């Protein structure tokens, strides 16, 4: 999940918000506003609003600290972390490599609930110092203490990809020594847990819980979907084990001269070929690459007066891979840099292209043969 709003960096990790996070922030403000006014009718509307907004912001900080604990631990074990995104159901740390041992997986998962529990205990202590729930600060700290302890408990549920599911995966991995099998088992358990949440939420909704029951069912649906995706991802990793870029890439690379007129390129090459990507050459040397998306950046009226070199992506700005690059690594590069294809270079010469389309065709063929 990618963030739409960038908030800056902490310890070199990009922090961002998904638009859906504002849903939970809005619900927190509305529900706490009603709760505080019901329990303390003598409090002014301004005070209640300030407390509700403060609770939403401090809950945001609590979630961020939870995810930072995962990310900081991952980086301490040499696992690169690209970004932390907070969304409606919590947060996600985008860790670019999988743990190499069950021990690392266990502690990387467990440190999140441990952090939330510690935050919850701190707020409960502050609640006591502020006079329990009888004061505005006490009421605020009481809710934050409760919600962080609840967050710690919820994340320990053994439903992958919750932290508890990852702890379960680490335990099975340690016991069996089989990483992929442990992922599949934990994902199946996660699907069962998601189904239980959905059933319980629906029963609660019809039993009079209303929105609360539907919210539980929605969380269950999210767990069911995420666990299913994790199961598919595990099977995909099995499929791609040992597969190199050279096994899938296209060897038929259409090359064009960088001085070619854009209008000529579009009429004689782009529109007359199924290819969407072309290598741009300068005296038999690779100069860059050009796609239909690059052409669209040039105004159509300028096509007759511009050359391919005006629109292409230059070699120094491009990522390249070798035929020995694992397919999983290549797909990760395409996803991370939002690319559709990568030139394959061997001993300084371009020998092919690796694209998303080729990868999908490979998976489709494997699936048909398996069926």
Residues taking part in catalysis? 67
Q: Is 276 exposed, middle or buried (0-12, 13-18, 19+ CB in 10 A)?
A: middle
Tokens 């299913």 -> residue:
228
**Cβ contact 187:160 at 8 Å:** yes
Contacts of 320 by beta carbon, 8 Å cutoff, 6+ apart: 342, 343, 344, 345
Cα four-point dihedral sign 165, 168, 174, 178? negative
Count of CB atoms situated within 10 Å of the CB of 287: 19
Count of CB atoms situated within 10 Å of the CB of 102: 19
- Residue of 110, 233, 224 whose CA lies nearest to 179: 233
Tell me the C-alpha to C-alpha distance, in Å, between residue 236 and each of 20, 132, 144, 231: 29, 52, 40, 9
Dihedral of CA atoms 179, 99, 2, 229 in degrees, nearest 10, equals 10
Per DSSP, what are the bridge partners of residue 346? 349
Quote the tokens at residue 177.
């020594």
């Amino acid at each position: 999940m990618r963030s739409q709003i960038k908030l800056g960096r902490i310890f070199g990790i990009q922090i961002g918000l998904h638009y859906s996070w504002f849903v939970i922030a809005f619900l927190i403000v509305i529900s706490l506003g009603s709760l505080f006014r019901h329990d303390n009718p003598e409090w002014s509307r301004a005070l209640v609003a300030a407390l509700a907004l403060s609770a939403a912001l401090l809950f945001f900080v609590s979630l961020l600290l939870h995810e930072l604990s995962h990310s900081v631990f991952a980086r301490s074990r040499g696992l690169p972390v690209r970004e932390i995104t907070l969304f409606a159901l919590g947060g996600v740390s985008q860790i670019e490599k999988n743990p190499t041992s069950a021990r690392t997986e266990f502690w990387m998962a467990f440190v999140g609930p441990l952090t939330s529990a510690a935050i919850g205990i701190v707020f409960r202590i502050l609640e006591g110092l502020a006079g329990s729930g009888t004061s505005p600060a006490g009421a605020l700290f009481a809710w934050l203490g409760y919600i962080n302890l609840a967050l710690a408990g919820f994340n320990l549920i053994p439903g992958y990809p919750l932290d508890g599911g990852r702890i379960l995966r680490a335990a099975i991995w340690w016991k069996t020594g089989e990483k992929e099998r442990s992922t599949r088992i934990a994902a199946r358990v996660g699907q069962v847990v998601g189904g239980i949440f959905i059933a319980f939420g629906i029963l609660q909704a019809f039993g009079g819980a209303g929105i609360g029951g539907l919210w539980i069912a929605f969380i269950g649906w999210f767990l069911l979907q995420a666990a299913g995706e994790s199961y598919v991802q595990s099977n995909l990793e099995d499929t791609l084990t040992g597969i190199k870029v050279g096994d899938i890439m296209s060897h038929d690379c259409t090359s064009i001269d960088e001085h070619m007129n854009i209008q000529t390129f579009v009429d004689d090459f782009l529109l007359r070929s199924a290819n969407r990507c072309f290598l741009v050459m300068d005296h038999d040397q690779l100069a860059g690459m050009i796609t239909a998306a690059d052409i669209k950046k040039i105004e159509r009226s300028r096509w007759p007066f511009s050359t391919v070199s005006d629109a292409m992506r230059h070699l120094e700005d491009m990522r390249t891979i070798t035929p020995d690059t694992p397919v999983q690594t290549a797909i990760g590069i395409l996803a991370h840099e939002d690319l559709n294809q990568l030139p394959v270079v061997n001993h300084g010469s371009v020998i092919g292209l690796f694209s998303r389309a080729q990868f999908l065709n490979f998976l489709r063929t494997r699936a048909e043969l398996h069926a």
